[in-house]
Structure 1
Amino acid sequence: MGWVGGVGVEGRQVGAIGEVLEVALEGGMGVWLRGGWAMDFHLGEVTRPHLDVDWYCWRDDVDRLSAALLGRGWRVDPRVPVDTQLDLLRDDVELSFAYLARDASGRVVVGGGPWAGTPLPEGMLDGPPGRIGELTAPIISVAAQIEFKEMYPIWMPQRPRRSKDVADIARLRAAATRPVGATGPAAPPPHPG
């Protein structure tokens, strides 16, 4: 079944998210949204425009995932080395899959590129799924989302903190007391007395 996401690039991106989830489910492959779409699925609404759809996938699954999506009309972005991550294009939608692996002790680590083997945040893949409308998707944990957005300028000094990351961190922190996918203001903390 093909996913229909709505109008404009946002709708096509949501449709692509549904398509990736369908392919992953059919192939028994794990995928997790990361970046801005992970935040939006946690919040239960689209908060801003997105340039692409960022994912994590297991390095061991990338050949099967790539073949399945290429069979659906996606093409490899030649600007990004496939040994670092898999970037796919179709019309005006870009999918970016960063690789995951496990080290000898079973920890989730970066699965490709110059940081291969670097441990990723504990529990990153253990959070509840997110939801926008009728579409539910695995997302990286909110704690990992915040850590990445806070640490990117430190890990990569050539990449200064972006205003959208500052806004995203504030949204994620404000939503920490809300259930996944709940919209509206956060519930007040319980009264201490």
Structure 2
Amino acid sequence: MGFVDRTGEPGRALVGTGQQPVVNRAEPSDISVATDRLRCQSALVLNESDVLEVLDLLKSAGAAVWVDGGWGVDALIGETTRIHSDLDLVVLSDQLDVVRDALVEAGFTEVLRDWLPTGLAVADSAGREIDLHPIVGSSREGGQQLLPGGEWFHYPAPVTGTIGGRQVPCVDATTQVQCHLGYEATDKDRQDMARLHTVTGVELPWDYMPTP
């Protein structure tokens, strides 16, 4: 089963180099076990076990991903600090088709936003959302994300965080702050950045600093 576009229009084709990605695909039985567990989840939000199972699923498929967004902040903090309705993942552009195939098998068949090559957001029937941020590069050295205006945003290589007591690859604290610039911050954004600053000591811009 392929992706279903919420707008009713066909999903845009994957952007790639024309070459097949070189990945170590897992045996179908490895992927199906993780897929079955994901389909059994009924919560409308993504909890720790959901996140870890998605990461396991994609690792089994041979894809290198690291956690961004709100879950990425909590990974750096080392504990879950709030409810999350989505999971942001940095993915390698040449593995994007591998990631999509694995997520389709796990039930994430609905396309919410197709902004490729900048990003792609998908959801399952329970409304749980995964936002993909493709980069050109590698998990060892990081890479560049093409933004809508033609600029490039650099994601360094992942660092190690903790979700559900388990170590996971995630975006570093400085890059997390950079991802929260250039738009009007919400209360949730400010709370995330304040917690991140308290735990990691990362420098915040003046408009994110707590009011005395």
Indicate whether 1:33 and 2:62 are aligned.
no
1:152 and 2:152 correspond: no
Q: 1:125 aligns with which of 157, 169, 176?
A: 157
Q: Name whichever structure is richer in strand by fraction.
A: 2
Tell me: CA distance 1:38–1:107, structure 2 relative to 1, closer, same or farther (3 Å).
Answer: closer
Unaligned runs of 5+ in 1: 154-159, 178-193
Match of 1:165 in 2: 189
Aligned residues: 164
Which amino acid in the other structure matches residue 175 of structure 1?
A: V
Structure 1 residues 182-193: aligned runs within 5 Å: none
1:134: Cα distance to partner? Answer: 3.5
Q: Which whole-Å deviations, capped at 9, do the CAs of 1:21-72 have from their partners, x for residues lacking one?
A: 1122223221111111001111122212223111110111111110111112
* SS in structure 1 at match of 2:120: strand
TM-score normalised by L of structure 2: 0.66
Partner of 1:87: 121
Q: Which residue, 137, 143, 158 being the options, matches 2:174?
A: 143
Distance 1:131 1:144 in 2: 17
Gaps of 5+ in 2: 1-32, 202-212
From 44, 64, 71, the equivalent of 2:98 is 64
Does 1:49 find its partner at 2:83? yes
> Structure 1, residues 127-186: CA drift from partner, whole Å, max 9, x if none?
2x211224332110011112222x232xxxxxx121221221111111116xxxxxxxxx
* 2:41 and 2:50 in contact (8 A); partners too: no
* Percentage of matched positions with identical amino acids: 23
TM value normalised by structure 1: 0.72
Structure 1 residues 25 and 137, CA gap change in structure 2 (3 angstroms): same
Change (3 A) 1:9 1:43: farther
Letter matched to residue 78 of structure 2: G
Q: Supply the distance in 2 between the matched residues of 1:107 and 1:22 (Cα, whole angstroms).
A: 20
**What is aligned with 1:180?**
none
Return the letter of the residue paired with 2:130.
Answer: L
| Partner deviation per Cα, 1:68-101 (whole Å, 9 max, x = no partner) | 1111221131543444422221112000101111
1:165 counterpart letter in structure 2: D
Alpha-carbon separation, structure 1, partners of 2:136 and 2:102: 20
- 1:100 & 1:143 partners in 2: Cα distance? 18
RMSD: 2.9
| Corresponding residue to 1:99 among 105, 120, 134 | 134
Q: Take 2:41 and 2:107, find their aligned partners in 1: how far apart are those partners?
A: 19
Distance 1:107 1:135 in 2: 22
